């Protein structure tokens, strides 16, 4: 396995943007722009309230719908939360787990990320696991250690067979929503650190087969250069995924 045989996945993370009506329109706008047989998979991770509209609007197209989070318990007294089975039965195929905004603002820890990863995989969802260092950690020179620790804790108890439903997104926190994109070298190196951690857990072959995305201020202008790197198998895109033409241009750059 190498870059050419790994799945390339371009995923949008809409975060807290778009009403259901806006979601429908955005997907209708995107559909004709990504029509045809491309060699990359396309995913839009949308707010929970938008899922029914998004699934309906994407039906019969290349666009798969994902959620932005999932709870780890199957059901019960967890006000405001959504289970993996609820997502599956709503037509969701992917889910983001461990996004840095969840870690920063909502008390997400490596341990709860691990629980969510396992719950989602066990329910048959495809997981986009996010890892990434904050600027202070990069400045301390411990990016490799941080990525390795986050990856290893998140994957504790995940079987090698389940890796086929796992994508890891390297998202340096300092590059998210800041317009300060990682250089292609930094993205390639970070993704390589993630792949090395996976190799330590499951062996080189499994790690080589894994799709590792880069995320953080990726846009239609810088995507081609980032995606050309050997360890960059796709992108997780925030701001630029909200505009159909920009997101479609990133898909074009990937294929
Ligand atoms: P931006 O593309 O807006 O920097 O967001 C990246 C991100 O957090 C994707 O999950």
Please tell me the total count of domains within the chain: 1
71 part of the active site: no
Residue 2 counted as domain residue: no
Whether residue 169 contacts residue 133, with contact meaning beta carbons closer than 8 Å, is answered with: no
| 15 occurs within a structural domain | yes
Question: Is residue 174 situated within a structural domain?
Answer: yes
State the pairing for strand pair 40-46/234-237: unpaired
Catalytic residue among 68, 108, 133, 171: 171
CB of 239 closer than 6 A to ligand 1?
yes
Residue 3 placed within a domain: no
| CB of 13 closer than 6 angstroms to any ligand 1 atom | yes
Residue 100 pLDDT more than 80?
yes
Q: Which helix (H) or strand (E) holds 41?
A: strand 40-46
Q: Each residue of 193-245: pLDDT tens digit?
A: 999 999 999 999 999 999 999 999 999 999 999 999 999 999 999 999 999 99
Q: Which of 168, 190, 217 to mutate to test the pocket of ligand 1 (most atoms within 8 A of CB)?
A: 217
Q: Which residue in the block uniquely carries the two structure tokens 């997502």? A: 87
Q: Is the pLDDT of residue 37 over 80?
A: no
In which domain, by residue range, is 123 found? Answer: 9-253
- Looking up tokens 């999932």, which residue turns up? 70
Residue 4 lies in a domain: no
pLDDT on residue 38? 82
Closest by Cα among 30, 19, 17 to 250: 30
Would you state the pLDDT for residue 190? Answer: 98
pLDDT bucket at 1, cuts 50 / 70 / 90: low
Q: Which one from 71, 99, 133, 220 is the annotated catalytic residue?
A: 99
The answer to whether the CB of 181 is under 6 A from ligand 1 is no
- Measured by CA distance, the residue closest to atom 2 of ligand 1 is 238
- Of 104, 131, 240, the closest CA to residue 181 belongs to 240
Note whether residue 149 is domain-resident: yes
* In a domain? residue 60: yes
Centre of ligand 1 from the C-alpha of residue 157, in Å: 28
Residue 5: the pLDDT is: 83
Q: Determine the longest span between alpha carbons in the chain, in angstroms.
A: 48
User: Residue 1: inside a domain, yes or no?
Assistant: no
The predicted model scores a pTM of 0.98
- Decide whether any atom of ligand 1 lies within 6 Å of the 103 Cβ: no
| pLDDT tens-digit readout, 101-153 | 999 999 999 999 999 999 999 999 999 999 999 999 999 999 999 999 999 99
CA distance 175 to 221: 15
Query: Using a 6 Å cutoff on CB, does residue 99 contact ligand 1?
Result: yes
CA of residue 101 to ligand 1 center, whole Å? 10
The CATH number given to whatever domain includes residue 248 is 3.20.20.70
What confidence score (pLDDT) does residue 36 get?
Answer: 85
| Span 146-179, pLDDT tens digits | 999 999 999 999 999 999 999 999 999 999 999 8
pLDDT at 4: 74
**C-beta of 41 in contact with ligand 1 (< 6 A):** no
């Amino acid at each position: 396995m190498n870059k050419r045989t790994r799945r390339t996945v371009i995923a949008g993370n809409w975060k807290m943007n778009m009403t259901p009506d806006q979601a429908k329109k955005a997907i209708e706008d995107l559909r004709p722009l990504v029509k045809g047989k491309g060699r990359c998979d396309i995913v839009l991770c949308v707010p929970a309230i938008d899922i029914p509209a998004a699934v309906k609007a994407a039906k019969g197209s290349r666009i798969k719908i994902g959620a932005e989070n999932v709870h780890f318990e199957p059901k019960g007294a967890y006000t405001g939360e959504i289970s993996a089975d609820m997502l599956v039965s709503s037509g969701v195929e992917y889910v983001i787990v461990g996004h840095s905004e969840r870690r920063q603002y909502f008390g997400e820890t490596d341990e709860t990320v691990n629980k969510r990863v396992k719950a989602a995989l066990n329910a048959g969802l495809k997981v986009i696991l996010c890892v990434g260092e904050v600027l202070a950690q990069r400045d301390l020179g411990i990016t490799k250690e941080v990525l390795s620790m986050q990856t290893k804790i998140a994957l504790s108890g995940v079987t090698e067979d389940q890796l086929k439903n796992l994508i890891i997104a390297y998202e340096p926190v300092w590059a998210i929503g800041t317009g300060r994109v990682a250089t292609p070298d930094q993205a390639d190196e970070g993704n390589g650190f993630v792949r090395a951690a996976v190799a330590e857990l499951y062996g080189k072959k499994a790690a080589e087969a894994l799709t590792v995305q880069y995320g953080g201020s990726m846009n239609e202008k810088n995507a081609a250069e980032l995606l050309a790197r050997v360890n960059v198998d796709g992108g997780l895109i925030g701001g630029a995924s909200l505009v159909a033409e920009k997101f479609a241009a990133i898909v074009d750059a990937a294929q």
